[in-house]
């Protein structure tokens, strides 16, 4: 206060040594904050994913209360301080808990509540970027919805975004200026799952198939990861204007396994056409399908049941970027409960969070190539990170 300043000024007038002693006395008992302790919040959906992430980090989930008023309005109240904290907010779709637009509104209000408490930084973790397929205008008057969503979150308080396997690489440019968007990939996790889940997996007897030309680059990467051959489904219209699918292959025409690779499965209408074309091309091959994001909307499970019986589909695998509880129920009702496989990517997200907190890059090849069986050295250090505000205390000068 003013008394301390006056004391310092008086000591300075006497001499420099006296000024130092007075400064020490003025600092006695003062606590100086050091660093920005991390805190992780999550929206109500897909709590299992959030629990696994903080378990890898050995941290705890921040305390926040979500309420819905009788008129449908959402209320969000923080139940702990986040001042000077490095805040991470995880928002994952869970159709079992709430409709996605309701969840996104919860996220926006949570971001505003956190921002009002003066945190050091807010990083929003979106395992799936919603509205991703509305990334371009096919006709006048259409909105670019994912760009709008990112700008809304930045307005609400987000300083940085993390997501997994964008539908279109151009979407990384939708983030507002000075608000980075980091894209992780589940490629290594899906590849490890494929090797583990196909009992007689051999690279020379396996092909991966892209569902269209747009997914060829993604599928080529998976082929390189698995060291297998590549094929692609080419969609075209015949002379009668009917849509057809033709298979283009660059390897053995008689594979034992064919793995269909895509970034997301929704209604699975395209997947059925591709699977039928592959089955006609190589009737004896067993089919599998993998993607990062699984929606399984409408009658997708019923279509997949038909693929199991007609096209030798063994299973379809997606990650838990989206909670699969609702999908599991649909698969059970369709009579194929064992055909849906869920790949856990919580360690991937935890690894990104600890790197962002420690100031390391999440874009280095060494991190992006980590699979679930490879130790993550930085993640092992998370347990040593203080999760509460730590301070340096001033000490009184020693008597002469």
Give pLDDT, residue 245.
Answer: 85
Give pLDDT, residue 390.
Answer: 74
- Beta bridge partners, 25, equal none
Give the distance from CA 304 to its chain's centroid. 26
Tokens coding 350: 């935890």
Question: What is the reported pTM?
Answer: 0.88
Contact 268, 302 (CB under 8 A): no
Contacts of 159 (CB under 8 A, 6+ apart): 121, 122, 123, 179
Q: Which of 300, 366, 367 is nearest to 327 (CA)?
A: 300
Tokens coding 206: 């396996």
Tokens coding 278: 């592959």
Count helices and strands in the chain by DSSP H and E runs: 12, 18
**pLDDT, tens digit, 9 for 90 and up, residues 245-270:** 888 887 666 899 999 999 999 999 99
Cα separation, 203 vs 205, in Å, equals 5
Is 196 in a helix, a strand, or coil? helix
CA-based max dimension of the chain: 101
- Beta bridge partners, 233, equal 247
Q: Which of 195, 188, 331, 342 is nearest to 268 (CA)?
A: 331
Residues of the chain with pLDDT under 50: 1-17, 19-27
C-beta neighbour count of 101 within 10 angstroms: 10
Give pLDDT, residue 239.
Answer: 58
**pLDDT, tens digit, 9 for 90 and up, residues 76-93:** 999 999 999 999 999 999
Tokens coding 394: 């001033």
Give pLDDT, residue 169.
Answer: 84
| Long-range Cβ pairs for the range 359-362 (8 Å, 24+) | 362/162, 362/182, 362/184
């Amino acid at each position: 206060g003013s008394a301390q300043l006056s004391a310092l000024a008086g000591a300075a007038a006497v001499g420099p040594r006296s000024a130092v002693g007075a400064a020490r006395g003025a600092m006695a008992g003062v606590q100086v904050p050091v660093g920005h302790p991390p805190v992780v919040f999550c929206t109500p959906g897909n709590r299992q994913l959030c629990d696994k992430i903080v378990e890898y980090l050995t941290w705890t989930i921040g305390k926040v209360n979500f309420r819905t008023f009788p008129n449908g309005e959402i209320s969000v109240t923080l139940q702990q301080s986040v001042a000077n904290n490095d805040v991470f907010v995880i928002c994952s779709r869970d159709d079992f808990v709430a409709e996605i637009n309701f969840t996104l509104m919860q996220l926006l209000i949570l971001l505003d509540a956190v921002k009002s408490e003066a945190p050091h930084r807010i990083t929003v973790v979106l395992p799936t970027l919603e509205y991703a397929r509305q990334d371009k205008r096919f006709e006048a008057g259409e909105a670019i919805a994912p760009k709008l969503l990112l700008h809304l979150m930045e307005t609400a308080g987000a300083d940085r975004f993390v997501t997994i396997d964008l539908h279109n690489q151009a979407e990384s440019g939708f983030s507002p200026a000075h608000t980075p968007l980091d894209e992780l990939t589940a490629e290594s996790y899906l590849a490890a799952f494929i090797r583990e889940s196909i009992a007689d997996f051999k690279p020379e007897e396996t092909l991966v198939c892209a569902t269209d030309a747009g997914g060829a680059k993604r599928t080529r990467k998976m082929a390189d990861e698995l060291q297998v051959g590549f094929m692609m489904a080419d969609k075209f219209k015949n002379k009668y204007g009917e849509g057809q699918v033709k298979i283009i292959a660059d390897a053995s025409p008689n594979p034992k396994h064919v793995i269909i690779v895509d970034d997301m499965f929704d209604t699975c209408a395209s997947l059925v056409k591709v699977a039928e074309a592959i089955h006609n091309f190589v009737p004896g091959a067993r089919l599998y399908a993998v993607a990062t994001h699984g929606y399984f909307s409408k009658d997708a499970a019923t279509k997949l049941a038909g693929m199991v019986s007609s096209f030798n589909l063994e299973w379809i695998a997606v990650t838990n970027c989206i909670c699969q509880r609702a999908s599991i129920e649909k698969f059970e009702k369709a009579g194929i409960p064992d055909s849906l496989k869920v790949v856990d990517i919580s360690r991937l997200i935890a690894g990104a969070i600890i790197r962002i907190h420690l100031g390391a890059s999440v874009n280095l090849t060494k991190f992006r190539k980590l699979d679930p069986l490879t130790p993550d050295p930085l993640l092992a250090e998370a347990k040593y990170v203080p999760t509460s505000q730590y301070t340096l205390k001033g000490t009184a000068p020693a008597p002469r």
